[in-house]
Amino acid sequence: MLRRFRYLIFLSLLVFSLIALGSPALSQAQSQLPYWTEAAPPTIARQELYPEVLDGKIYVAGGFLSQNPGFTDHFESYDPVNNAWAQLRSLPEARHHITLSAVRGLLYGVGGFTGGFPDWRAQPTMFIYDPASNTWTGGIDLPAARAEAISAVVNDKIYLIGGRVRATDDARLFNDHIDSVRNEVFDPTIDRWATLADAPTARNSAASAVIAGKIYVVGGRNFVRNADGTTQQVNVPNLEVYDPQLDRWETRSPMPQAQGGLAATALNGKLYVFGGEQWVPEQKVFAESWVYDPETDAWKALPPLPTPRHGLGASTIGNRIFVFGGGTKTGGDAATTIHEVLILPT
């Protein structure tokens, strides 16, 4: 009995020491596994978000609200230091599926749709935001109206790839648009758009991130017209990489699962993707999350999103990936203010 009592005292002292001093073994085990936590919710619920990071803050413009035709001009930023959102000067005009790109201290909002479903109409406009003055000004229009594209910045130039364009000049409905392989670049120093090599896959609702000066475009879906006149949105798993220096595309290993309306970001030379939705063969919203390593051309599963959703935003600051907003059901309903953070090893 005395021996057992002494053993229990020894264990108690050992546990106390580990808590007080920190156990390298426990810390190492914890650091090997990413985990999810929560952060302050955005000020409004919305989806179809294309966020951008500028000077350590995350900016989100426009979006789609749950009540059709509820698209918005709302514009806000998130400060991870204070874990707080701040409402800023509204977009000059309400948009959903508008991209944001940061170049030399300014934010460029490009394209997007106006209207509630099915009256979506792609727009060619560019809005430029100056954080110093909290003001918007007009920029140079796109060569062709476009929405649901991806945007990426390399060497202070804005690349806009894929998305949906008007099938005719008077297109006024969602079905009046077609998926595009367009790849265009905007140079803010000369205020000019230029056309580059087409993407291999025409798609909408893809996601992207820049790694080592190359643009990784992943997932999304094809808008398919069937012989009987019906239409379908079919997800694609494709991963394609664009090298702006060579104006050349390369096809890499596809996602393990085709997810459209997903979010993507980069951290430590790897591509991270989250969520999305599927329309066929059955409707569903994804919680699945993945990481892709360009060095091995291989995908691995991450801890799934605590809350499955699509049309969400994802941004990286430090060793944290902030995943916010989106819809918890397929389509334009059920927008949310959920804000979840994936903590990764430093």
What's the predicted TM-score (pTM) here? 0.90
User: Among candidates 247, 194, 301, 262, which has minimal Cα distance to 50?
Assistant: 262
pLDDT value of position 101: 98
Mean pLDDT of the chain: 91
From CA 18, how far away is CA 3, in angstroms rounded?
Answer: 23
SS (H, E, C) the chain: CHHHHHHHHHHHHHHHHHHHHCCHHHHHHHHCCCEEEECCCCCCCCECCCCEEECCEEEEECCECCCCCCEECCEEEEECCCCEEEECCCCCCCEECCEEEEECCEEEEECCEECCCCCCEECCCEEEEECCCCEEEECCCCCCCEECCEEEEECCEEEEECCEEECCCCCCCHHHEEECCCEEEEECCCCEEEECCCCCCCCECCEEEEECCEEEEECCEEEEECCCCCEEEEECCCEEEEECCCCEEEEECCCCCCCECCEEEEECCEEEEECCEECCCCCEECCCEEEEECCCCEEEECCCCCCCCECCEEEEECCEEEEECCECCCCCCCECCCEEEEECCC
pLDDT value of position 346: 73
Mean pLDDT of 115-143: 96
pLDDT value of position 333: 84
From CA 124, how far away is CA 111, in angstroms rounded?
Answer: 5
Tell whether the model's pLDDT for residue 16 goes beyond 50.
no
pLDDT value of position 229: 83
Predicted confidence band at 28 (pLDDT cuts at 50, 70, 90)? very low
Angle among Cα 64, 303, 236 to the nearest 5 degrees reads: 55
What's the first-to-final CA gap in the chain, in angstroms?
A: 47
Mean pLDDT of 95-118: 96
> 64-78, 272-286, 316-330: which has the minimum mean pLDDT?
64-78
pLDDT value of position 107: 98
From CA 311, how far away is CA 60, in angstroms rounded?
Answer: 12
The two tokens of residue 189 are 């120093």
Mean pLDDT of 292-316: 98
From CA 265, how far away is CA 315, in angstroms rounded?
Answer: 6
Tell whether the model's pLDDT for residue 296 goes beyond 90.
yes
Tell whether the model's pLDDT for residue 11 goes beyond 50.
no
Tell whether the model's pLDDT for residue 2 goes beyond 50.
no
Tell whether the model's pLDDT for residue 43 goes beyond 70.
yes
pLDDT by residue (tens digit) across 163-207?
999 999 889 998 999 999 999 999 999 999 999 999 999 999 999
The answer to whether 333 touches 277, Cβ cutoff 8 Å, is no
From CA 309, how far away is CA 330, in angstroms rounded?
Answer: 8
pLDDT by residue (tens digit) across 56-98?
999 999 999 987 668 999 999 999 999 999 999 999 999 999 9
pLDDT value of position 275: 98
Angle among Cα 64, 65, 70 to the nearest 5 degrees reads: 90
pLDDT value of position 318: 94
User: Among candidates 274, 337, 271, 315, which has minimal Cα distance to 79?
Assistant: 315
Place of tokens 């394209």: 111
Mean pLDDT of 43-52: 97
pLDDT value of position 228: 87
pLDDT value of position 14: 38
Predicted confidence band at 1 (pLDDT cuts at 50, 70, 90)? very low
Q: How many CB atoms lie within 10 A of CB 279?
A: 17
